[in-house]
Every structure is written in C-alpha cells, then in structure tokens.
Structure 1
Amino acid sequence: MSDTFMSANVAGTSAKVAPRRHKRSLAHSKWPVLILFLPPALMLFTLLVIVPMGEAAWYSFYNWNGYGDPTQWIGFRNYQLIFRNGAFTQALINNGLIVLISLCVQIPLALWLATMVSTKIKGALFFRLIFFLPYVLADVAAGMIWRFVYDGDFGLVAGISHMIGVEPPFWLADRNVAMYAILGVIVWKYFGFHMMLFIAGLQAIDKSVLEAADIDGATGWQKFRHVTLPLLGSTVRLSVFFGVVGSLQLFDMIMPLTGGGPSNSTQTMVTFLYNFGVTRMQVGFGSAVGVVLFVICVTLAFSYKRIFMRND
C-alpha cells in the first residue's frame, strides 16, 4: 500500500515538473528569435517614429522656416498662436463633426447593411462588393471624383439641376454647405470598411445561438437586440475606435475637394497643419500643430482602449 502511495506521489511530482520544464524550454527557445528580430524592429521604430516625434516637439519651440538650423527660440508662443487662430478652432469643430457622423451615421449604416448582406441571399456577394468598392478607391481619387460630381458648371449635380430646370448649386463654394457635402462623401467612402468588419463578426457568431432564439419565438429585432448586438460588442468597439482615430487624421480626401476652403470652413487639424505650417514655410508652427494633434490622438486612443477595450 505504501509503495503504491509513493508511486502516486512520484508520478504527481513528475507531472508537475514536466510542464515547468516545457515552459522553460519554450522561454529559452524564444530568446534567439527576440535577439534576431527585435533590435532591427526597434531601430526602425526609433528612426521612423521616435526621432521624428522628438524633432517635431523640439522645433515647435522655435520660429523656424525649415531652412538652416533653428535659432529663434520662442518657447510656447506657437502653441498660443494655435489656440488663438480661428481656423484651428474651426478645424477642431469639423473634426468633431466628422467623429459625430462616423458614430451616428456611418457605423449604424454599416451594421445595418452588414446584417442584410451577411445572410445567404441571392446577390449577397455582389452587394458586398459594391458597398466595399468605395473604400478600395484611393482617397485622392475619390476626392477628385466627387469634386467633379459637385461641380456646379459641368458636374453631375449641375446636369441633374439643368434637367429639372433649377439653378445648379455650388456646394463646395458655399462655406455654409461645403462641410456637409464633405461629410456625405466621408460616409460613402468609409462605411464599406466598417461593414466588412461587421460581416466578419457576424460570421463568427455561433448559429446555434440564433437558432435557439428562433425556437424561443424571438422576433428579428429581439434577436438583434439581445443576441447579435451583444455578441458583436468587441467588433463594434473596434469599429468605433477606427472611426474616431481615422476621423482625426482625415486629410487626403479634403485636399482635392476643397483644400480646406472656402474661407477655412472645411479645415481639419491635418489640413490646417499642411496649409498653415508646410505651405507657408512655418515649420515651427506646423510642428506645434502636429504635437497638439499627436497628444489628442494618443489621449483618445489610450483612454478609449483603457475604458472600453480593456477586456477585448
């Protein structure tokens, strides 16, 4: 009896030691990979990300046009000028509008269409392709296309206006309307990306859960509200994260559409940086704008991930 008990103890001890040895061997096997691949990655990240960020922060304290070495130290003067600039205030408001439209229109539209084309219906793949095509287009190309569409002389809107016998509108030239015209293009351009995210999330849902809801007599809305939407929680949070961060960095589409005009009514923070920093050769001022944009993006990104995505 004692021999059996001792054998059981030895077997149990061996079973505990074996996983520890296996973990140690895995840890030792990772070191060559880390030593081989981590230093080049860190070097590239330092050269392409950390160093430019540090230089931008340093240049933001100078009145510098980009030529020669910066010598005219002005401290926080550039930051004071930023927040006193009415165009930057308008850029902040416009970025807020873009975020709001992304959250309240673009993402709900993408989710609705995803629930429609994710089922096995005739033509579902065709509609997925059609809805996703705008996202495949380059932002600059999409901006040029819609600039022609909105053109009040020769564009599609002008043609339709002449057909119905009304004066064609010049939406991109009207400072009260131009931003809303751009918001429509933004929804058209990016909702396909969010739709594909939701389709992937819907396909990952266990069909037996939905079948159980059908057996219990749940309606379509009840299934979506109490089953589908909770199971899509991580996908929705990821989509919102992409929508917010992407809205703050919008640049490529606005430049061919309006360039930030008319009268700075369609400026975003990135177009403001380009128009007031790069094109006017005010590199110190532009660097300060870049630092402000970086702080806003990093603060929102880390706060959002900390609060809403900590369990994802």
Structure 2
Amino acid sequence: MAASAPSQVYSAPGRRLSLTERLRLGLNNGRISATLILLPPALILFTLFVMLPLGESFYYSFFNWNGYGVPTDFVGLQNYQRIADHSVFHVAVGNTVKIVAVSLFLQMPLALLLALLIYRKTPTNAFFRLVFFLPYILAEVAAGLIWSFVFDGNYGVSASLAQSLGTEPFFILADRDWAFVAVMTVIVWKYFGFHMMIYIAALQGVPEDLVEAARIEGAKRPQIVRYVLVPQIKPAIIVSAFFAIIGALQVFDLIIPLTNGGPSNQTHTIVTYLYTFGLTRLNIGFGSAVGVILFIVAITVAVFYQRFFMKRGQS
C-alpha cells in the first residue's frame, strides 16, 4: 500500500489563496506553530514593560503628583501648558535638534570616511578599527567624567594647554556659549566608532568584482567610492542614520556627568530636562508629561523614517 503524500496547497499564478488555504499552508510549514509558541511571551513582556508604563505615564501626566501615594490633584492639561511655556524646554528641544544635525552631518560622514580608509582586512586596519571603536565600548558615565576632567580649567588637559601657551585658563563647561559645543564634541567622539563599524561591515560585503570592473574601466578612487561603494552600502547608511536620530533623542548619560544641564540650563536635552525638572524635583506628573511628548516624537520619527526612507532603501 503506497503511503499518502502530505497535503499541499497549490494555487494558480495570480490567484490569491483563501484564508483556509493560507492556514493549511502555515500549519504545513510550521509558521503558525512557531507564532503560537513565541508570540504570547513577547506580547506579555511588551505589555508589562512597555505598554503599561506608557499608559501610566499618560495617566499621571494629568495630575500634579510627587510620586507618593495615589494621585488625586487632577490638573488636566496644565502640565503640558507649563512645558510649552517653559523657556528651558525650548532650549532642550533646540539642543536635541542640534545633536541630531551634528550626528547626521558630522558624525556619520566622519565614520564613513574612516570606514572607507580601513575597511579592508589587514592587521594595521584591524588595529585602527579597535582604536576608533574603543570610545563606544566605554560607559557613557565614565566617558562624561573623563571629559569633565579634560575640560577642567584648573587641573585638566585644557588647563595644561593654557599654561603652556601662557594664557588664562578657559572653563569651557562653565561658558554659556561653548559648553554645548564641548558636549557635542564628546558625543561625536563617543559614537562615531559605532557607525564606522556598521559601514565597515557593509563595505566588506561589497563584491570585489564590482570594484575591479570599475578600475578596469578607468575609474579613479573617488569615482569608485561615489559610484560603486557608497550606493552598495546605502541600506547600511539608512539604518545608521536611524540609529543616530533615535540615539540623539535619548542623550542623557553623557550630559549629566559633564554639565548636569548647566551652566544656566543651557546644555539640557529633552531627557535631561525630564530628569532635572521631573524626577529630581519630585514632580512626577510634570515629568510624565515630558515623557509622553518624547514618546510621541520618537514614534513619529520612527514611523516616518520607516515609511519614507527604509522602504526606499530596500527597493
């Protein structure tokens, strides 16, 4: 007696499968079973650690609440109105936008330039990759503390430099005009290695035949970079830009040990503003409103970027 063949679903070209056929096909290839096993734990964790805290933050943002007991002082949209009228919040938003711009137009091009120089697999390039990637491995708080000593006008590297030049010491982190420039310098130094490694991984995946064909056709190094290498790693650049934007919206750990938002609240980002004016002052309702605004901005950026840039990069 011949064994019966497993049931399969066939469809003519151009014909859409019915729901029953799709379910049968999913059962046959194991996709539905894997979904039923893996999806519930992920949904539970996502609900407990993402959706519930977000819902509670949205609820608390309508109260004047210090974090103790049950919130009872309902203030409606007053927290949001206070945020809109607060000049320091405007400074924080402007600083966040500056970090996004520096990340996209200075940090990423620097990372791409270095990646183009050292992406080939040689012992020397491996050494330089390690050196450039080390700042990213360093913890943000430790990096902030190290650079706070570097910029110290009394004992740091800047003090030694001023002494050697015979000039007065310059306290850059205490200067309203230059403190945030120092912060952005540290941010570029800290994270360019991360983007560099993304580009190196992408460049090492470019077929060498394309490069050799361009050389045979007489293309010079700048032309090979512009017309062969960069177009081939376009998806990596798009992903890197997404990480840069989302990371800029979340900058916190570097600024607190560097300036703590000073001087005169001139180096706050949205997250440090939330921490300073919400958590440290036990104004949890106000801080929750800032968190809701930050979440809406991050989700909007992520959806917009996914829709208009990542899909185009894949096409």
Q: Which amino acid aligns with 2:56?
A: E
Aligned partner of 2:75: which letter? I
Residue 147 of structure 2 corresponds to: 146
Q: Distance in 1 between matches of 2:274 and 2:139?
A: 21
**Match for 2:265: what amino acid?**
N
Q: CA shift at 1:26, angstroms?
A: 5.1
Q: What residue is the counterpart of 2:285 in the other structure? A: 284
Matches of residues 49-88 of structure 1 in structure 2 within 5 Å?
A: 49-88=50-89
Other-structure match for 2:269 = 268
- Show the counterpart of 1:258: 259
State how far apart, in whole Å, the 2-side matches of 1:122 and 1:41 are. 42
Task: Please tell me the residue identity of whatever aligns with 1:189.
Answer: K
Deviations along 1:205-253, whole A, 9 cap, x unmatched?
Answer: 1110110000000011111111111111101111110001100110000
Q: By how many angstroms is 1:16 displaced?
A: 5.0
Write out aligned runs for 1:1-312 (5 A): 16=10, 24=24, 27-28=27-28, 29-121=30-122, 123-311=124-312, 312=314
The 3-state SS of whatever aligns with 1:214 is helix
Q: Which consecutive unaligned segments of at least 5 residues does structure 1 have?
A: 1-13
> Displacement of 1:23 after TM fit?
9.2
Distance 2:222 2:260 in 1: 43
SS at match of 1:308: helix
Which one-letter code corresponds to 1:27 in the other structure? L
Whole-angstrom CA distance in 1 between matches of 2:61 and 2:175? 34
Contact 2:9 2:25 in 1 (8 A): no
Judge conservation of contact 2:202–2:236 (CA < 8 Å) in 1: yes
Amino acid at match of 2:287: G
Deviations 1:51-101 (A, max 9, x none): 000000010011111111111111111101001001000000100110111
1:176 partner letter: D
Aligned partner of residue 310 in structure 2, secondary structure = coil
Partner SS state of residue 251, structure 1? coil
CA deviation map 1:255-291 (0-9, x unaligned)? 0000101100000000000000000111000000000
Q: Secondary structure at the match of 1:168?
A: coil
After superposition, the Cα gap between the structure-2 partners of 1:24 and 1:206, relative to the gap in structure 1 and judged at 3 Å, is farther
List structure 1 runs of 4+ shifted beyond 6 angstroms: 20-23
Of 118-127 and 97-106, the range deviating more from structure 2: 118-127
The one-letter code sitting in structure 1 at the alignment partner of 2:296 is: V
Cα offset, 1:310, TM superposition: 1.3
Counterpart of 2:112, as a letter, is: L
CA-CA distance at 1:164 after TM superposition:
2.0
Hey, what does 2:4 align to over in structure 1?
none
- Tell me, yes or no, if the aligned pair for 2:27 and 2:33 is still in contact at 8 Å: no
> In the comparison of the two structures, how many residue pairs are matched?
297
Amino acid at match of 2:27: A
Consecutive unaligned residues in structure 2, runs of 5 or more: 1-7, 12-16
How much has 1:119 moved relative to structure 2? 2.4
TM-score with structure 2 setting the length:
0.90
Taking a change above 3 Å as real, the CA distance of residues 197 and 30 of structure 1, as seen in their structure-2 partners, is same
Q: Aligned partners of 1:104, 1:32: CA distance in 2, in Å?
A: 46
Partner in structure 2 of residue 5 of structure 1: none
Report % sequence identity. 49
How far apart in 1 are the matches of 2:165 and 2:122?
Answer: 37
CA distance in 1: counterparts of 2:223 and 2:259, whole angstroms: 44
